[in-house]
Structure 1
């Protein structure tokens, strides 16, 4: 089952993660586990979160040759997470083999394969000049989404601002997972393409990933409830 909001647990250790969850009563909420926490703690952190009934998006952004990604996905499939991702820039064969790896794992869990299009820290200028990819982020993200869709991915990570175009290209059943979510009073930090939960819903996002707007808030519980309220009712704060 896929949930509309995943809380990013961007903490360096399990101890800090556990303390945050228990202090603010977030036990059982859908969470995103990224590279920082997973590379420190390993698969055991997934097992601990699942013991407390947390739905999990495992955000590792795999990007390697197809056979390596396939073997990694075969192992990841045994963890029973909701979603896991690869970089779409790895190409169609890598995405196809990633999907094959998830199926070969045979865990019985329908883990969704999500492909990262263009990172939300990227602007048109950075993409053009530093990566030497011509065009706008919206155009390139839509192209990568279409390629991922045709290669067996279940959805993509994109910014809110590309979600509607991707839905037009790939269909309404193709998932759009949108990081860079900020509440009105929050800082952009290192993100370029950001949006509020209410705007995200109107723009066609299926799933939000929200982190620092909640985890760095003076009152994380209030901030989380605000995000849920905006999403559920489509109202700006």
Structure 2
């Protein structure tokens, strides 16, 4: 059962970050350009970043809000340096692995703040990655983590919040528990979103955009239902329309 939220007023299209999951810079740039104004921003991850580098990110992003999904995880000093470099790309959101620990996350938050001040730009939101959606309880046990995945997600989310980060990436099934545990201002960015009129592909535990927002999600990361559509712009507009009709106070 989902609950209504009175936390933030976010325009329906601004909730959507479209995942440009391709190493093809021309395709990524064309998609970003065609979707400008129809989505809140774009997500660029390791595939495109590794293939095209920072200059490719700048070319594709243009002036669109950017979620830089590189999931930094290293010793605190190294992560701080990576975050400082990333801030030069002007991301709206960037992420680190919460399992890197308190000192690493605090270093990331401080580096983001200081780099933004030095550049005279807005500080990016820094969010944590708790448990990858590909991992189940057996996988966690193999790497020495006990308890159900959901318990580890909550444990790491609380640590993320205590470490001064802005929020977490979470799967749809964790939204409500995290909202209850971490409060109304903790940013929840949610992949695994599939409109009711789209196929679920290889994703499990999916949720529609309307369901996710009603449960308490702030931003939705949506890739294939948009970029694999015959008309990506029409698909993005349809999702925003679906969200407009959702019951959100």
Q: Is TM > 0.5 for Structure 1 vs Structure 2? A: yes
Cα separation, 2, equivalents of 1:132 and 1:182: 32
Partner of 2:43: 32
- Listed one character per residue, the Cα deviations across residues 38-89 of structure 1 (whole Å, up to 9, x for unaligned) are 11111113322453x2111000001111110011111111221100000111
Relative contact order higher in (CA < 8 Å, ≥ 6 apart): 2
Greater shift in the superposed pair: 63-72 or 104-113: 104-113
TM-score, normalising length from structure 1? Answer: 0.89
Partner of 1:119: 132
2:189 is paired with a residue of what secondary structure? Answer: strand
1:131-210 equivalence runs, <5 A: 131-210=143-222
Deviation at 1:132, TM superposition (A): 4.0
Unaligned runs of 5+ in 1: none
Deviation at 1:230, TM superposition (A): 2.3
Cα separation, 1, equivalents of 2:236 and 2:138: 33
Closer, same or farther in 2 for the Cα pair 1:187/1:126, shift >3 Å?
Answer: farther
Closer, same or farther in 2 for the Cα pair 1:217/1:174, shift >3 Å?
Answer: same
Contact 1:7-1:210 within 8 A present in 2 as well: yes
Closer, same or farther in 2 for the Cα pair 1:203/1:157, shift >3 Å?
Answer: same
Deviation at 1:139, TM superposition (A): 1.8
Contact 1:123-1:192 within 8 A present in 2 as well: no
TM-score, normalising length from structure 2? Answer: 0.85
Contact 1:95-1:148 within 8 A present in 2 as well: yes
Unaligned runs of 5+ in 2: 1-9
Contact 2:29-2:61 within 8 A present in 1 as well: no
Deviation at 1:18, TM superposition (A): 2.1
1:43 is paired with a residue of what secondary structure? Answer: helix
Cα separation, 1, equivalents of 2:200 and 2:178: 24
Q: Count matched residues.
A: 230
Q: CA RMSD in A?
A: 2.0
Contact 1:181-1:194 within 8 A present in 2 as well: yes
